[in-house]
Amino acid sequence: MTKTKKAPIFSRKLLAIPYALFLGIFVVMPLLIIVYYAFTDMDGAFTLENFKIFFSGSGGDSFFETARFKTIVQSFLISITSTLVCLLIAYPVAYIIANCKLKNKSGLLLLFIVPMWVNFVLRINALKEVLDWIGIYNKPQWNLFNTVLGMVYDFLPFMILPIYTTIIKLDKSHLEAALDLGATPVTAFLRVTLPLSKAGIMSGISMVFLPSMTNYVVSNYMTFNHTKIIGSFIDECFKNDLWNMGSVTALLLLTLMFLMTWATGGFNTESETNTRGTSLW
Amino acid sequence: MVKVKSCLKWLFIGLVLLFIYAPILLLTVYSFNEAETISSWEGFSLDHYKYFFNMDNQPLPIVLQTLALAVVVATLSTVLGTIGSIGIFYSKKRTSSLLNGINQIPVINAEVVTAISFAFLVVAINVPKSTYIPLVVGQMVLCTPFVVLSVIPKLKQMDNNLYEAALDLGATPTKALFSVILPQILPGIIAGFLLSVTLSLDDYVIAAYTKPNTFQTISTHIYSLAKGGTVNTIKSSYWAFTAVIFLIIVAVVITLNVIANKKAGKKQ
């Protein structure tokens, strides 16, 4: 007997429609508006002037002498340093936890993640109080140091988590094979473990690099508004009604984000390490 | 030699933990200080706690409304995200990878770019911030992608034959959805909900761009206090709050660990 199948009145595919609309209106549309503002002037006419101004300085002065240039360089400096410091702390931590003999490894890992659940402004506030107490808060020569410290303090868990997830899943037999074949532990680590944990490192970097270039709450808080980063520049553009300039900056950041994500394979949703905290629960 | 090495390892772990916890612990200790500063200890008092737990003062109502916002945002995000995940999962490959790609944008984008672009949209469609709609939807943009990211792996793990079996046995598609698919992806839904709550509680940038002027969240309030730099009573009462939050989290983590250990013990 052949089964007569009724035409499905209800298809599970259709459930995607509300969320697709949501993404279209509230995620894609806003980005298109940014593109629009970046390529138009105050009256809404098409222009490339915003980019020219961005890269030249407004009063005809060289781009390399503008405050904007200083902000950008400073931003990259802070961001690269913060990412490196995070990596140098996070990798050993993740490695030690993943390879320790404790039964309750995830319990130990949790100790490093728990602070993430305290509101980040409260945490940064706590750190600020400590700096104030030591006496290096709001001192010009310490501003860059304090900013990097704040970023590392805020983003360290985002670096530890993906690296740990990759290392814990590594197939130990590769390492053992290298050791059996006569590699020293150091060589074995450099040529086996480290390359195999690249995915975790990459997603950790992408989780720290952009935020430490844009999280102006941290930089403002840690330096009493003295140290400017790209994020604070965008914020100030918006607040001072310089929407076109803000959009140009945002668009450049967006391009950087797409390049980085593409380079690190972040759009590949198959990998389980690339989302902050989802693997945590 | 081996001992020295292992000692160094734990010393390193200890130092990093010290770096992470020292500021929070210091604030916890000084939340019992009579003075409103951590520069000097002027005797034990519960004044900061009394100030914080009084509904007539600013902090407690702000904490409560931040929590309420987080629950509303997380609930809406979870519903939208769960339905969306099921839809995406059963869509054609091309549609699903497009939606998955767009879903990644708010996850990896700089928060300030998400916020400013969303603020442009709010201005363009002219919805007053006082309706709370921009705030709620703005935070949903931040949270829903994470719900999708927690639910989709569970859908992948699911045995698809069960749904077909339910249909063959006469269940309507809706019934099968609720009594076969939903229970299996429930852990992912709960994870997405909890993650959304923490993201909403933690958010400063989106809230700053979309909230009604009269409304404050914990983040925006503390940030505004830092700018003023004068209102010490309020500021130090937040130390008491930090301490309370921290202790609650520690208690929850310890309980979870004890439960997990007991389960592991039973299995053995």
B130 vs B40 pLDDT, higher one:
B130
Find chain B residues with C-beta within 8 A of A92's C-beta. 12
Q: Mean of the pLDDT values across residues A57-61?
A: 59
pLDDT digits (tens, 9 = 90+) for B41-62: 888 989 899 989 988 888 999 9
Given this model, what pLDDT does residue B144 score?
Answer: 97
- Structural domains of chain B, ranges and CATH numbers in brackets: 65-215 (1.10.3720.10)
Q: What is the DSSP letter of A19?
A: H
Given this model, what pLDDT does residue B153 score?
Answer: 93
Given this model, what pLDDT does residue A266 score?
Answer: 59
Answer whether A119 sits within 8 Å of B152, measured CB to CB: no
Q: Is residue A123 classed exposed, middle or buried when 0-12, 13-18 and 19+ CB atoms within 10 A define those classes? A: buried
* B166–chain A nearest CA distance, Å: 15
Is B150 touching A (CB cutoff 8 A)? yes
Half-sphere exposure of B36 (CA within 13 A, CB side): 12
Distance, CA of A15 to CA of B87 (rounded, Å): 4
User: Do A175 and A106 touch, CB atoms closer than 8 A?
Assistant: no
Find chain B residues with C-beta within 8 A of A238's C-beta. 116, 119, 209
- Structural domains of chain A, ranges and CATH numbers in brackets: 70-241 (1.10.3720.10)
pLDDT digits (tens, 9 = 90+) for A221-232: 898 888 899 999
What band does B37 get if pLDDT is binned at 50, 70 and 90? confident
Token pair, residue B220, equals: 């925006």
pLDDT over 60 (residue B203): yes
Question: What is the ipTM score, two decimals?
Answer: 0.89
Considering only CA atoms, which of B230, B258, B237, B250 is closest in space to residue B55?
B237
pLDDT over 90 (residue A171): no
pLDDT digits (tens, 9 = 90+) for B64-101: 999 999 999 999 999 999 999 999 999 999 999 999 99
pLDDT over 70 (residue A252): yes
Distance, CA of A88 to CA of A204 (rounded, Å): 12
* A65–chain B nearest CA distance, Å: 26
- Contacts A–B by Cβ distance under 8 A: 251
Token pair, residue A64, equals: 């390399």
What band does A271 get if pLDDT is binned at 50, 70 and 90? very low
Given this model, what pLDDT does residue B227 score?
Answer: 67
